[in-house]
């Protein structure tokens, strides 16, 4: 799971327009290793050749997966007003594609690495493709449900046995290498120099090693992680020297304490992976605010300038002596620690802005699953608050894809998601938190992780902050209509449709519901909920 404070811790193709106006030097493609086989390159001890420069700068197009456009269009078709306008504006916004199962490596369609890169290479200007590498043995060891596809030891039902010490996890690692990393690397080699590629490496893995070794599930997975991660990074970089690799670095609400980030830095150094990396990705699939970076003389905890905007602290981290109250401050802290430990390493960062448009919608920032009241964050851009540290804000978690299921998944015959379906086999109790969609009456059941969540994407659009500029907000002046309201009556503009916002601090729209009841979901968000739930 994607932890937070005190949780010790498809059809037509589309290419997105440029996301960046800040021009940097072009990526210099280093070809010294091209042609060497993955295994041979490591055994010969050849040094990594790192792609130079910000991969998101100076490229002309960014890949938008056709399957994303199809899912989004389905939600657009049943939306109205500003939500519909916002969703429509998102159709050509690029996001990362998660390679979270072995079956997504090979194939002709745009749900596989091979198919996506083939599609991208066919364009007159091949767009930059961002992929998430995510299939370690015993993946996501801190989760309350078995989320791994590859296991060190399998239970009879095919899930991972996290409770038994697997020793060196030889079987799981062999499966990871043979069926996932090596085929992945082979495909990347086929497109080396033809398609610009960014890889985000194994979300949550090193962060779990840094902070959660007291959990037997994670200590039993440590050998898989500490052996598998260096293998993956070296294999992928050797196969594709021009690829830019960013290791996942959790977020400030997880690793922002000194013991957390120093442990993480030590792991990076001990594993010897820094020379292969462009840097790190933060806030992947989470909701932490980007914020603004404090100057070196600002002390948000004890200083006289703690009222500076850079000290805004929606997750109450500063009172816990965590200075990573926003992701810009976290990046600054982590970069300083990295360069102090490894003076020749100057990491750069990507921050996931897919769903952090609202800073303070959670009662407890440890709740990471389908957060109620969240909004889409800044569209991908290289115009970051500190380009020297942060290469880009990018949608690494695709907005609209579920974080995980409620105890029961929605019945597929009911498009509203309000009808209870089968028990979810991978239910994580964190997805039943008080901040999670589906935990309150009047909310639909949540689908499994990665599945499209129509109710959520409309909420995210309702609360979106797409630009770091209030004047750039998406507006729509057409009369509000909806295809999925329970009544066919025309609704006047003074009432909100079912599941639309109807109140909250700063809300200026309708405060009565055309049907149902306006229900407060916190100080900043109220929505129209059905009066009764089937």
Q: Give the pLDDT of residue 122.
A: 98
Alpha-carbon distance of 147 to 144, in angstroms, equals: 9
pLDDT score recorded for residue 485: 32
- Domain region containing 283: 14-366+376-394
Using DSSP's 3-state secondary structure scheme, residue 371 falls into: strand
Give binding residues as ranges: 98, 100, 251, 254, 286, 368, 397, 401
The torsion angles phi and psi of 199, rounded to 5 degrees, stand at -120, 130
For residue 121, what are its two tokens?
A: 């290479």
Provide the pairing of β-strand 348-352 with 390-394: parallel
Strand ranges of the sheet holding 526-529, from the earlier edge strand across to the other edge: 501-503, 526-529, 517-520
458 in a structural domain: no
So which residues are the catalytic ones? 204, 403
Rg of the chain over Cα atoms, rounded to whole angstroms, equals 23
Same-domain status, 225 and 109: yes
Query: C-alpha angle 333/390/364, rounded to 5°?
Result: 60
CATH number of the domain bearing residue 57: 3.20.20.40
State the 10-residue block means of pLDDT for the chain, 534 residues long.
40 44 30 30 37 87 96 98 98 97 96 98 97 98 86 95 96 99 99 98 98 97 98 99 98 98 99 98 98 94 88 96 98 98 98 97 95 98 97 98 96 95 94 96 95 98 87 40 32 58 70 81 68 44
Dihedral, 241, 58, 22, 397 alpha carbons, nearest 10: -60
For residues 434 and 153, what is the distance between their CA atoms, to the nearest angstrom? 33
DSSP 15: E
9 located within any domain = no
Strand partners, 123: none
Where is 281: in which H helix or E strand? Answer: strand 279-282
Give CA angle at 375 (291, 2), nearest 5°: 75
Q: Which helix (H) or strand (E) holds 198?
A: strand 197-201
Flag whether 164 is in a domain: yes
User: Three-class SS string for 23-86?
Assistant: CCCCCECCCCCCCCCHHHHHHCCCCCCCCECCCCCCCCCEEECHHHHHHHHHHHCCCCHHHHHH
Q: What's residue 504's pLDDT?
A: 72
Count of CB atoms within 10 A of residue 38's CB? 23
Same domain, 522 and 387: no
CA 490 from centroid of its chain's CA atoms: 39
Predicted pLDDT at 86: 98
Q: Same domain for 362 and 501?
A: no
Number of domains in the chain: 2
Identify whether 75 is part of a domain. yes
Contact 474, 86 (CB under 8 A): yes
Dist CA 128 CA 64 (whole Å): 9
CA 263/CA 269 separation, integer angstroms: 10
Query: Which 3-state string (H, E, C) describes 161-174?
Result: CCCCCCCCCHHHHH
Residue range 515-528, pLDDT digits in tens: 778 888 666 567 77
Helix axes 81-89, 66-76, angle to 10 degrees: 170
Do 164 and 313 reside in the same domain of the chain? yes
DSSP letters, 237-275, are HHH-TT-EEEEE---HHHH-SHHHHHHHHHHHHHHT-GG
Helices 113-121, 182-190: axis angle to 10 degrees equals 10
Residues of the binding site for substrate: 98, 100, 251, 254, 286, 368, 397, 401
DSSP state of 518: E
Torsion sign over Cα 486, 487, 493, 494: negative
Is the Cβ–Cβ distance between 64 and 12 less than 8 Å?
A: no
202 with 232: CB under 8 angstroms? Answer: yes
Co-location of 382 and 505 in the same domain: no
The β-bridge relationship of strands 420-423 and 279-282 is unpaired
Same domain, residue pair 380 and 502: no
Assigned domain for 156 exists: yes
CA–CA separation, 359 vs 286, rounded Å? 11
Neighbours of 243 (CB within 10 A): 27
In a domain, 427, yes or no: no
Q: Is 182 part of any domain?
A: yes
Number of alpha helices (DSSP H) and beta strands (DSSP E) in the chain: 13, 14
- As given in the structure block, the two tokens for residue 396 are 């690494």
Question: d(Cα 464, Cα 223) in Å, to the nearest integer?
Answer: 41
How many CB atoms within 10 Å of residue 201? Answer: 24
Angle, in degrees to the nearest 10, between helices 182-190 and 222-239: 20
Domain identity same for 49 and 173: yes
CA gap 116, 137 in Å, rounded: 25
Q: What CA–CA distance (Å, rounded) separates 470 from 409?
A: 38
Give Dmax over CA atoms of the chain in angstroms: 73
Does 403 fall in a domain? no
**pTM higher than 0.95, yes or no?**
no
Strands (DSSP E) found in 357-433: 390-394, 408-410, 420-423
């Amino acid at each position: 799971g994607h932890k937070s404070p005190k949780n010790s811790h498809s059809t037509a193709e589309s290419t997105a327009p440029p996301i960046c106006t800040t021009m940097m030097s072009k990526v210099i493609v280093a070809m010294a290793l091209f042609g060497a086989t993955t295994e041979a390159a490591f055994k010969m001890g050849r040094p990594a050749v790192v792609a130079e420069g910000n991969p998101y700068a100076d490229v002309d197009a960014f890949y938008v997966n056709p399957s994303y456009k199809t899912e989004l269009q389905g939600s657009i078709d049943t939306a109205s007003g500003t939500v519909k306008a916002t969703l429509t504006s998102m159709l050509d916004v690029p996001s990362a594609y998660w390679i979270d199962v072995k079956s997504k490596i090979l194939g002709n369609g745009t749900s596989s690495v091979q198919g996506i890169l083939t599609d991208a290479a066919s364009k007159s200007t091949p767009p930059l493709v961002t992929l998430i590498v995510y299939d370690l043995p015993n993946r996501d060891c801190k989760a309350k449900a078995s989320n791994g596809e590859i296991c060190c030891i399998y239970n009879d039902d095919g899930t991972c046995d996290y409770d038994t010490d697997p020793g060196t996890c030889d079987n799981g690692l062999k499966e990871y290498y043979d069926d996932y990393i090596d085929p992945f690397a082979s495909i990347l080699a086929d497109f080396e120099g033809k398609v610009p590629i960014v890889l985000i490496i194994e979300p949550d893995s090193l962060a779990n090693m840094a902070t959660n070794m007291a959990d037997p599930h994670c200590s039993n997975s440590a050998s898989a992680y500490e052996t598998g991660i260096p293998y993956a990074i070296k294999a992928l970089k050797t196969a594709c020297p021009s690829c830019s690799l960013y290791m996942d670095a959790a977020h400030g609400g997880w690793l922002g304490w000194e013991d957390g980030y120093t442990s993480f830095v030590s792991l990076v150094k001990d594993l010897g992976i820094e020379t292969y990396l462009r840097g790190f990705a933060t806030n992947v699939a989470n909701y932490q605010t980007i914020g603004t970076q404090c100057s070196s003389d600002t002390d948000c905890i004890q200083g006289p300038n703690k009222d500076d905007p850079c000290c805004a602290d929606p997750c109450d981290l500063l009172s816990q002596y965590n200075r990573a109250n926003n992701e810009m401050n976290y990046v600054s802290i982590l970069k300083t620690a990295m360069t102090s430990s490894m003076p020749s390493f100057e990491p750069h960062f990507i921050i996931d802005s897919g769903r952090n448009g609202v800073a303070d919608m959670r009662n407890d920032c440890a709740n990471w699953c389908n957060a109620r009241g969240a909004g889409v964050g800044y569209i991908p851009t290289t115009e970051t608050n500190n380009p020297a540290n942060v290469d880009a804000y990018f949608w690494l978690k695709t907005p609209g894809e579920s974080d995980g299921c409620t105890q029961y998944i929605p019945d597929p015959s009911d498009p509203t998601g309000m009808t209870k379906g089968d028990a979810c086999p991978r239910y994580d109790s964190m997805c039943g938190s008080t901040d999670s969609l589906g935990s309150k009456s009047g909310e639909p059941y949540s689908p499994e992780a990665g599945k499209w969540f129509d109710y959520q994407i409309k909420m995210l659009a309702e609360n979106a902050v797409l630009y770091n500029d209030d004047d750039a907000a998406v507006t729509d002046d057409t009369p509000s209509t909806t295809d999925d309201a329970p009544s066919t009556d025309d609704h006047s503009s003074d009432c909100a449709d079912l599941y639309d916002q109807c109140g909250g601090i700063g809300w200026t729209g309708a405060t009565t519901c055309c049907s149902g009841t306006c229900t407060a979901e916190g100080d900043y968000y109220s929505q129209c909920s059905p009066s009764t739930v089937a």
